[in-house]
A and B are shown apart, each in its own frame.
Chain A
Amino acid sequence: MSTRGLFTPITKVRRQVFTEVATHAYERDLATPDYSYFYESSYRIIPGEVAHYRDSVFKERAIIRERIRLAMSLPLRPADTHKSFTEGMSDVAVAEKCLDTPLVNVIPFACEACPTDHFKVTDNCRKCLAHPCTSVCPVKAVSIGKTRAIIDQDKCIKCGRCEQACPYHAIVRTGRPCAESCGAAAIDSDELGRAKINQDKCVACGMCIVSCPFAAITDKSEIYQVVTAIRLGYKVHAALAPAFVGQFGPLATPGKIIAGLKALGFSDVIEVGVGADIGTVMEAEEYLEKVPREHDFLGTSCCPAWESFARQTQPTLSACISASSTPMKATAHALKGQEPASVVVFIGPCIAKKLEALEPEVRPFVDFVLTFEELMGMFSAKNVDLAGLEEDQFRASASRDGRGYAVAGGVANAIKNCIAELDPERDVPIMKADSLFECKKMLSLAKAGKTSGYLLEGMACPGGCVGGPGTLMPIPRAGAAVNAFANDSQFKTSLANEAVLPER
């Protein structure tokens, strides 16, 4: 279990920070740079003189200030040298991309340096006569102490046999929630035993962010630059990822969310599901053309965390991962083709998309990436009550299958349906994985040649995009809302969508 998907004090603080940053972005005087507002932010979020969550109210506010910096796309400050909290703020108060790596950051002094993965004897131990824990240990790491069994951590090889043998469930495996959530094994330790992200391995899936029970990990945000672009009069388009449905509560229908985005100052709102339809047709054609002649199998490409993970961990299989555009890129590419001067903001459940948008082949098309949670901070800052708005609509609609991309299994389903239309004779075996742990297993099978002719759907988030780190709704609720909206589409399959035609 983890804190992911539950509303906790951490969720609250994170959203308060987004609201503070968006409020200042909307209300500040564009001519005079003044960031003193953000000093007050930390007092609004952490009021009074008594600590709320940690040992000291001063430390709590210091952490809020680092979170504010990251939410403005600024880097963390070093803890051992002086650097003003507001330093660099005027440089990021612009309508251009300021976000740079590292995207996912551990705020070192917020990290509690949890012990790393180990087996532990709890006070359930009754120091029993049988003590099977000692007899099953292959390395003599378990002994019986004065009051309970003791595990010698230097000897322990973490085989887990003692845990299984104990009749009282007294032995547990425990470790760092961040490391346990990281399917890419990218969490190391710094010299003080605190979590440190190995940026070479991190694919920015964001699972550690929503799994850390001490709120020590967070990513950077582009709220400030997006609002600045809107206020400076740019034509800013919002491209809404398929997982958006139901994210802002049951009364905020898709039509009201579109209206809400326009109330925030976005010029137009585009359904990324249309880009998913385009991607579906590209990947179906790619499959028919190349599998099995050129490639042993075809892996989907829409989830950037899965894609980077596959390429990094199994470089020899790289060619088998689809080269077609992600729905985000396909959508942004079409938009920039129509209006080169416009600013495109992708809004989704995903943090890895922020990294994808930094790639040289994506950057010219996608200007900024926001999460639904960050967008909610903007609605809150502008006091936009979605439920009370008039319904608006997308210019072009996605198909049922394109909208289904947001839920695990939906991508493979869309491509399979498309292949069935293009070549009814072809049978497409499918394998799916949602979570990087599952993806890792799937890649091992692929490496071993056990997925010949398969279509592999990889997603980094358990449950698919509706389970992403930038979401607001409980996952089952969100999945049901997405499915209802998908079934509502006038087009069943991606190929049936007339909006796809001009792109082919």
Chain B
Amino acid sequence: MWVWLHRFGSPKYFYNVSGRILPWVGGVTALLILAGLYLGLFASPADYQQRDSVRIMYIHVPSAWNSMFIYLLMAAAAAIGLIWNIKIADIVAAVSAPIGASFTFITLVTGSLWGKPMWGTWWEWDARLTSELILLFLYLGYIALQSAFEDRRTAARASAVLAIVGAINVPIIYYSVQWWNTLHQPQSLGMGTSAIHPSMLWPLFLMAIGFKLLYVVILLIRTRAEVLERERNSAWVQELVQDMTGKPASDVARSNHEQR
């Protein structure tokens, strides 16, 4: 496990392996989301109370799950980077934040669009909605803190503490509907139980897996780009550039510079 982790933690190894699996993960993601969208928007039945408005669920719920999942993963990666000084972990945490912030934003917007026709309001300060909004601010604060430091190591360390402290918000979001009276309904899915009919649960399930993989795809693309940038002076990146362009990396850098 440790050997594997350290090997995967090496930027060069990560770059090579991730490049090979990326097209496969991307293909599966596209298939899952297309199938989920078709089933959710066309093939699944309308709800007995909400009619067709229920279809917002197939975007809203997977986004909401992702917004919390990505935060936990980001905080875990930041903690690993902080404790064991693993470069890849720092990069994963840093590039995850904008992705998580995007999913949080999608969750808030689709929730608002769903809330207006069903509840009769765009926004209410109930515990679930407010804690999700705080999650967005945590992501934005993390991004701001990342870019506030010149030095990458300092930036990673300072923002890691913020990410770890903010992680307490995730269980609060999750359990808010159980702990307090909220306008938002309690969760429909529990351990082995579901208050969602199978004909609607299947598309939701496909979309949820599809959205998780979509995160993985974007994460891999962004991490690879970040690895190349941070390692641009290392021998393996120079070699890579030479292989791809047929010119020494120093020439490529110079011509790029002149074009600007």
Chains A and B are bound partners: no
Q: Which residue numbers of A lie inside 8 Å of B, CB to CB? A: none
